Amino acid sequence: MKEKSGFSAEFKQFIARGNVMDMAVGVIIGGAFSAITTSLINDIIMPLLGVFTGSITFSTLSVSVGSAVITYGNFIQAILNFLVMAFVVFCLVKGMNSLHRKKEEPEAPPTPPEPSNEEKLLMEIRDLLKKKE
């Protein structure tokens, strides 16, 4: 019985970590984003491509080999989904990296203040003393 409570406690600690929760949120948002990407491909991009290919969607493209039907149109559509999703993720990561770089850039050091009249006079005296030696 003790192993079970140890396992349960370890599992609870694992779930409570921030990284796991962030990952769970990412998976949920990724699923929703996948639905948006699929709709973009199926409802906007594919009909536009269908104008040029003569068919409304690639899903109707297939070839028969014996009794097997190979629907390569679905594969083309899946590749397009992947490319659009990869491009959007790339843009998001690129944007986040540029934001982090801006935060990490150190500010320019402030310009040193102009020497006071007293300091200027002391520098002149120093220079004169150097010339006499």
pTM of the model: 0.50
Q: What is the maximum alpha-carbon separation in the chain?
A: 108
- Domain ranges, residue 39: 2-132
The total number of structural domains in the chain stands at: 1
Q: What is the DSSP string of 69-107?
A: EE-HHHHHHHHHHHHHHHHHHHHHHHHHHHHHHHHHSPP
The CATH number covering residue 35 comes to 1.10.1200.120
- 33-69 confidence digits (pLDDT tens): 888 888 887 788 777 877 877 766 677 788 999 999 9
Q: Closest Cα partner for 72 from 57, 86, 87? A: 57
- 83-96 confidence digits (pLDDT tens): 888 888 788 888 88
